[in-house]
Structure 1
């Protein structure tokens, strides 16, 4: 372990794991010093820390929180990050609104304190410019490498005390430059438009200056040579329960159960919640008892329709250490659960969503990386993670319950990784014959809400104000092509009415649940 102490602009000292002062060049920018240390100590974790926080640096916890080489950690005790809140106007991801009191996935790094393995810096040498602004350099590394498998976190355990005031002032010039270098070009214009509309600001100089910088997204960076093998010593069992909500898909569910029965690593319990809203109906799944299964089947039949309620009913019956959230129309290979646990044992992660493709659909992602969503029909999660969590029934029959559940997981301090293999095949079976279209209260109004009120609900509960406003403008342009009003002025006023309706009903959902 090598610790680089700095004053924000230049290195102050470099200290070894044995508390020895090491030589370093104090006359060059910090990004150069960091890179030089990586080549001098290629097998080391490299820590950076502002000299004002030296007595607050918690080195004892590094080996626990930095448990494999493909990680990058930092922490900024202040509520405002280096790029500021305005980045939310053009970034809709869950990595923007950071929960400060837990380990939280984000590419927003800080020069105040952090850690990275030397092997990562060696791999990106000459592929990412060594910026003079240390915060910019660190944030650029994380933004470019996070989709490639570098696991990046805001980690409060880097410091003994996190209630510290170190005020920084974000810059429009830096923000526009960063957007130009790390996003598609159209986003700088959308950022500019958002600042005009939402903040009555006209940062023309920042917009124009951004065109002097080249985009940094390229295919030259590859982190595959950095192998992951977590050093965490955890005594775990790999017992697993499977929960499956189902409605009107008798044969498809049977095929899922057959796949589960042929697993090389068998589940302990398969928890099935069968729904049929018809009052006089009864279960049609006679094969649950007429056939022998190599696991316990816990079957609940209910007249209450809704996937949120069904999954919550199932969550109350979980017994095993792990939980597989499955759909009733998927297919998996015999090695699926065994292969999943092999990957989980390497990363020691507690939540993973697996690649779930339809027939003839090609995979978009080949790397294991931090997922921005959550799949309630294709994920494996440690039971302790969801012990106190439930799917929010405010989303019932709408959209967003998966994303909201994923945010509940992250806000507890757990990351969700995306695993491209083993693969899940999603058949997208036809809707069951006894399903009825839910009569949502907003469907009866003349002005239809846009977006769906449950989408607005998710954004109100989980995103920043800037992200919500940015989404509104993006939706405004996207929706124009799909609706019938082609007069731009009429469309604008109609869209405003629809947006207000969506917010109204989203807030009604919140109010009625209180």
Structure 2
């Protein structure tokens, strides 16, 4: 690892003394193409930062200290990478300038697209934003807390170069309506600026160096099920043929019928190469079922499955190979329906989480649980992913590990459920579950940005075409959603 020190944006290290920090970084990376660069302000506690760095076994990492860069980015970005927990190493493309760590290979591949940039904060965040979507793992390490922001013009330029053009006008609308300011000069200056691009050989960056492998690899499988005995049996047969067998499979069978009994006789009647823990309950709900199944597990790793998936015989060995290489503690797999082809070829940080197609370490499972406020609704998996990040872990999408999701037409957990707000004269918009998730996990400005885009998006779907009448109706629908989302939270704690 090569150290490069700067002060107020000017390098003060050896042959790079007096160069702007961006120039010095490119020169240093060119001269040291096989190394990571540690670039930091001279006053920073370098040892504290290095002590928190994870084991580095490939070139596709990009670390920095904590910095939000600009809270107004929340108006245009709808992702889990902005509402950052400052107490843990958090997955995000946002960058600070106090200290960064990145591989020379990534820097060298950005020469054509980024070497003319003069603003160091802008340069770092542009590389972070573009590299994350291509597979570079971006993190903030909270050993140095900064609050360095892009200027208004730079903010508009950043949005123009890294998002679709329409988001510039969403940003402007939010500034006009919610902040009563009209940055017209910044808007005019960025009209003809072109989109920023970054071409990198991500497969070369993601080439793993072999490190110590997982010893005593053991895993349990948790499967909630309801009314899908035939599909579940196929899942168990697939697991029975794995080269690395699970320790146990935990099946939570649900049926709301007061006199109903189990229809999974094959669980006891047939021979299995693993222990099956089968629990029957009249209480339905995927959140409760998964939490209960995880509580009954004991292995170091937990495979979260649906009851209507199919896997090949080498599924478990492919998982072991990936976690040995990546050292990931949470992996979501490619969950394809019949006829679908996975277009992604390299792994990357995932903004969501798959509750029926993921592999998590027990450390993760003990830090999180499926939120009962989202029972019978939607969003519990995305919320679980946010819990994982806030606990200091990351969700890695591994497209090379694939399973087939049959989307069974019978049974399952999405049977019609009558919520109390369905009888209201004004129906909540968005659904209270979505509102609950967003108020819990996103920044206030992200919530405003979502509100503005929702208002625009659904105007064409409502029968009310008078703009003023529609605005009044939407305000009521939004307020209803806020009210019921708060009720969901209250009821979940009872």
Q: Place the TM-score, normalised by the shorter chain, in its bin.
A: over 0.9
Q: Is the Cα contact below 8 Å between 2:214 and 2:324 reproduced in 1?
A: no
Q: CA–CA distance in 2 between the matches of 1:308 and 1:126?
A: 48
Q: Which one is further off, 477-486 or 388-397?
A: 477-486
Q: Is the Cα contact below 8 Å between 2:157 and 2:190 reproduced in 1?
A: yes
Q: CA–CA distance in 2 between the matches of 1:449 and 1:345?
A: 46
Q: Determine the structure 2 residue equivalent to 1:19.
A: none
Q: Does 1:205 align with 2:185?
A: yes
Q: Determine the structure 1 residue equivalent to 2:301.
A: 322
Q: Does 1:443 align with 2:433?
A: no
The 3-state SS of whatever aligns with 1:155 is: strand
**Aligned Cα root-mean-square deviation (Å):** 2.0
4+ runs of 1 displaced by more than 6 Å?
Answer: none
Q: CA–CA distance in 2 between the matches of 1:501 and 1:232?
A: 53
Q: Determine the structure 2 residue equivalent to 1:70.
A: 60
How many pairs align? 493
Residues 123-176 of structure 1 show CA distances to partners (whole Å, capped at 9, x for unaligned) of 2221334411111111111111111111000013xx4xx4x6x55344111110
Q: Does 1:6 align with 2:6?
A: yes
Q: Does 1:24 align with 2:4?
A: no
Where in structure 2 are there 5+ consecutive unaligned residues? none
Q: Does 1:81 align with 2:72?
A: no
Q: Is the Cα contact below 8 Å between 2:286 and 2:375 reproduced in 1?
A: yes
Gap change, CA 1:434 and 1:186, over 3 Å in 2: closer
Q: Which one is further off, 381-390 or 225-234?
A: 225-234
1:47 corresponds, among 11, 14, 38, to: 38
Q: CA–CA distance in 1 between the matches of 2:43 and 2:371?
A: 43
Q: Determine the structure 2 residue equivalent to 1:184.
A: 164
Q: Determine the structure 2 residue equivalent to 1:17.
A: none
Q: Which one is further off, 205-214 or 56-65?
A: 56-65
User: What's the TM-score once normalised by structure 1's chain length?
Assistant: 0.92
Q: Is the Cα contact below 8 Å between 1:268 and 1:296 reproduced in 2?
A: yes
Q: Is the Cα contact below 8 Å between 2:94 and 2:129 reproduced in 1?
A: yes
Please report how far the alpha carbon of residue 481 of structure 1 lies from its aligned counterpart in structure 2 after TM superposition.
2.9
The 3-state SS of whatever aligns with 1:221 is: coil
The 3-state SS of whatever aligns with 2:111 is: coil
1:487 corresponds, among 448, 466, 474, to: 466
Please report how far the alpha carbon of residue 279 of structure 1 lies from its aligned counterpart in structure 2 after TM superposition.
0.7
Residues 156-197 of structure 1 show CA distances to partners (whole Å, capped at 9, x for unaligned) of 3xx4xx4x6x55344111110001111111111111111111
Where in structure 1 are there 5+ consecutive unaligned residues? 14-21
Residues 11-61 of structure 1 show CA distances to partners (whole Å, capped at 9, x for unaligned) of 122xxxxxxxx321523x2112101111111122101111222x5543652
Q: Determine the structure 2 residue equivalent to 1:429.
A: 408
Counterparts of residues 107-506 of structure 1 (less than 5 Å) = 107-156=93-142, 159=143, 162=144, 167-217=147-197, 220-229=199-208, 233=212, 236-432=215-411, 437-506=416-485
The 3-state SS of whatever aligns with 1:5 is: strand
Please report how far the alpha carbon of residue 322 of structure 1 lies from its aligned counterpart in structure 2 after TM superposition.
0.7
Gap change, CA 1:450 and 1:227, over 3 Å in 2: closer
Q: CA–CA distance in 2 between the matches of 1:204 and 1:299?
A: 64
Q: CA–CA distance in 2 between the matches of 1:201 and 1:463?
A: 24
Q: CA–CA distance in 2 between the matches of 1:90 and 1:258?
A: 46
Gap change, CA 1:434 and 1:12, over 3 Å in 2: closer
Please report how far the alpha carbon of residue 423 of structure 1 lies from its aligned counterpart in structure 2 after TM superposition.
1.1
Q: Determine the structure 1 residue equivalent to 2:78.
A: 92
